[in-house]
């Protein structure tokens, strides 16, 4: 079946230059070269960080569930996220536009800056934090060869740590300054490489643990015999935790799918990269964790702790390079590309994708440099997590608008127009009904972070917030529904 990518030529003379630059413009099908492999690697890099490994391994230990139930919960979470991103990724495959342009259809050509900037703030903050964590891998490598230095520190970081931080910061700038193609190549290299190293580590642990490994896996897999009620709660908590882990990429997945050739390639990449990839990665984490139980007498879920216990220079070198590649990979996927586009959308005539990335990197430098001594101590992560929760309703608004209100038809020309008569101008460029829907749903989303009685919702708080956003939006748009303008009808 032929897939319908609709990318019409824009009439440059009739667009608003404050809404347009080449990085935001629709990408023509002939200029796209991403397929299922690239989308798979987006998800591979998203899960293969130090935190991703620790999360996957700890799920088998924390909730006291039978291992098969844990694996089923992980796979279900992957299926849910796959369904969510198939919805947000499809319009960008069809029209070749990034998230901040896509959201203009529902929020208005000016109102789109609200979700874009909220997402940018979250991305920039975690970009700085992940840059610091990636630098710890380089610190591990330098220390293995030259020692830890004289012990003096500045802002909580040693001299070696500062050198490592600057190296990682400059390395990431060097990658993204060469454009999205270089980022794609790095992701395509990092994803498979990390898998190879993880498989080798699993085989080594399996070999060293010998016949004791299978009983250790059985111990972890058996659970603690929780009652059926608590088992259901634990199962749902695992699903929610995994969904929450991927939530940062769900809303702006169009930033990646605009480069994909066909919707079929996107869906195949999501299938391979989400339920199947997450299940396989979790299985590897389980085997290695069981091996540490045999070798060290306790289940270690942090890869850095495993390397430290082994005390092998070759393993330290390989592990440091792997941790570095994995953490930089997730940083580029979840925390760099989104704010680069979001900042470009704020002032398109002055900020390009590259300039947006440079602004992201400069601000993130101070976040990462101050993370250990200041930011992690004063509750800023909680504030940023609250912003992340607030963004959730935009998912529902975007999906409901595109599939139920706009019926999968957008007018590309008018996404770049600020004429009062244009389809997406609404009221001074803002869709007030979308703002009302967002405000009502955001109150609930925010309460899942701030109200102790609701914090147990985990990732389901995000999904409920998204559902409420879509429900409120649908109700408000239908209550005040008017006939579609001629411009809205003249699509594809």
* Calpha distance 317→331 (Å, rounded): 21
Which pLDDT tens digit goes with each residue over 169-214?
Answer: 999 999 988 888 888 999 899 888 888 888 888 888 888 888 888 8
**Reported confidence tier of residue 481, pLDDT bands at 50, 70, 90:** low
Q: What is the pLDDT of residue 480?
A: 63
Go through the chain and tell me how many residues it has: 492
Residue with tokens 């409420």: 468
Q: Is the pLDDT of residue 13 over 80?
A: no
For 444, the enclosing helix (H) or strand (E) is helix 432-450
- Residues 6 or more apart in contact with residue 138 via CB below 8 angstroms: 164, 167, 168, 320, 324
User: Would you list the DSSP string of 168-219?
Assistant: HHHHHHHHHTT-HHHHHHHHHHHHHHHHHHHHHHHHHHHHHHGGGHHHHHHH
Mean pLDDT to the nearest integer, 470-488: 71
Q: 350 — phi, psi (to 5°)?
A: -115, -25
For the ranges 217-221, 375-379, 455-459, the lowest mean pLDDT is seen at 455-459
Report residue 85 CA to chain centroid gap. 11
> Would you state the CATH architecture of domain 37-389?
Orthogonal Bundle (1.10)
- In terms of C-beta distances under 8 Å and separation of at least 24 residues, what long-range contacts does 157-163 make, across chains too? 157/369, 157/372, 157/373, 161/135, 161/136
In angstroms, what CA-CA distances link 23 with 36, 161, 257, 305? Answer: 23, 35, 14, 42
> What are the CA-CA distances from residue 403 to residues 230, 333, 392, 400 (Å)?
37, 26, 18, 5
Beta carbons of 164 and 158 less than 8 angstroms apart: no
Query: Which of 427, 325, 439, 459 is closest to 48 using CA atoms?
Result: 325
**Does residue 483 surpass a pLDDT of 50?**
no
Residue 238 pairs in a beta bridge with none
How many whole angstroms separate alpha carbon 7 and alpha carbon 25? 10
Residue 436: is its pLDDT beyond 70? yes
- For the chain, give every domain's residue range: 37-389
pTM, rounded to two decimals: 0.87
Q: 146: how many CB neighbours lie within 10 A of its CB?
A: 9
Segment 450-463 shows an average pLDDT of 73
- pLDDT of residue 38 exceeding 90: yes
How far is it, in rounded angstroms, from Cα 293 to Cα 214?
11
Report pLDDT for 400: 97
């Amino acid at each position: 079946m032929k897939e319908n990518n609709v990318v019409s030529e824009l009439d440059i003379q009739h667009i608003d230059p404050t809404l347009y630059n080449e990085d935001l413009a629709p990408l023509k099908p002939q200029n796209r070269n991403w397929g299922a492999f690239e989308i798979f690697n987006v998800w591979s890099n998203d899960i293969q960080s130090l935190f991703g490994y620790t999360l996957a391994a700890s799920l088998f230990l924390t909730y006291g569930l039978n291992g098969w139930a844990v694996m089923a919960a992980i796979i279900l979470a992957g299926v849910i996220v796959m369904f969510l991103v198939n919805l947000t990724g499809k319009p960008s495959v069809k029209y070749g536009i990034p998230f901040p342009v896509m959201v203009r259809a529902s929020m208005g050509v000016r109102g789109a800056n609200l979700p874009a900037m909220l997402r940018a703030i979250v991305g920039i903050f975690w970009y700085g934090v992940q840059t610091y964590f990636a630098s710890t891998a380089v610190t591990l490598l330098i220390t293995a060869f030259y020692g830890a230095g004289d012990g003096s520190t500045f802002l909580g970081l040693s001299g070696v740590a500062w050198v490592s931080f600057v190296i990682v910061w400059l390395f990431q700038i060097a990658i993204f300054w060469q454009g999205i193609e270089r980022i794609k190549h790095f992701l395509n290299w990092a994803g498979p490489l990390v898998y190879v190293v993880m498989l080798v580590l699993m085989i080594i642990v399996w070999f060293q643990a010998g016949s004791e490994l299978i009983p250790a896996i059985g111990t972890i897999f058996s659970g603690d015999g929780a009652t059926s009620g608590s088992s259901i709660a634990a199962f749902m908590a695992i699903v929610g935790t995994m969904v929450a882990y991927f939530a940062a990429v769900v809303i702006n997945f169009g930033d990646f799918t605009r480069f994909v050739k066909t919707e079929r390639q996107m869906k195949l990449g999501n299938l391979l990269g989400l339920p199947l990839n997450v299940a396989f990665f979790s299985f590897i984490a389980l085997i290695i964790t069981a091996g540490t139980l045999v070798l060290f007498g306790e289940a270690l879920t942090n890869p850095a702790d495993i390397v430290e216990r082994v005390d092998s220079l070759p393993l330290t070198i390989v592990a440091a390079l792997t941790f570095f590649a994995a953490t930089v990979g997730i940083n580029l996927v979840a925390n760099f590309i989104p704010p680069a586009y979001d900042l470009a959308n704020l002032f398109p005539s002055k900020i390009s994708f590259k300039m947006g990335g440079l602004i992201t990197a400069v601000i993130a430098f101070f976040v990462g440099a101050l993370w250990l001594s200041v930011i992690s101590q004063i509750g800023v992560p909680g504030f940023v997590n609250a912003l992340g929760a607030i963004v959730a309703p935009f998912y529902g608004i975007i999906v409901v608008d595109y599939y139920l209100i706009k019926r999968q038809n957008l007018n590309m020309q008018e996404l770049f127009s600020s004429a009062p008569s244009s389809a997406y101008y609404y009221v001074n460029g803002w869709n007030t009904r979308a703002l009302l829907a967002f405000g009502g749903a955001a109150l609930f989303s925010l309460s899942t972070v701030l109200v102790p009685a609701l914090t147990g919702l985990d990732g389901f708080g995000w999904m409920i917030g998204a559902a409420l956003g879509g429900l409120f939006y649908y109700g408000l748009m239908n209550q005040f529904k008017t006939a579609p303008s001629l411009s809205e009808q003249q699509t594809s």
